[in-house]
Amino acid sequence: MSKKKSASAASTPATTVLDRAAVNYSLHPYTHDKAAESFGLEAAEALGVAPQRVFKTLLVATGASGAGALAVGIVPVNRHLDLKAMASALGAKKVEMADPAAAERRTGYVLGGISPLGQRNPSRTVMDASALDFATVFVSGGHRGLDIELSPSDLQRLTEALIAPIGH
Q: Which residue has the higher pLDDT, 4 or 77?
A: 77
Report the C-alpha gap between 141 and 117 in whole angstroms: 8
Strands 124-128 and 55-61: unpaired
Q: pTM of whole model > 0.85?
A: yes
Q: Which residue has the higher pLDDT, 64 or 12?
A: 12
What domains are defined for the chain? 13-164 (3.90.960.10)
The tens digit of pLDDT for each residue in 87-103 reads 999 999 999 999 999 99
pLDDT of 8 strictly over 50: no
pLDDT of 65 strictly over 90: no
- Per-residue DSSP letter, 125: E
Report the C-alpha gap between 134 and 61 in whole angstroms: 29
Judge whether 153 and 147 are in contact, CB under 8 Å. Answer: no
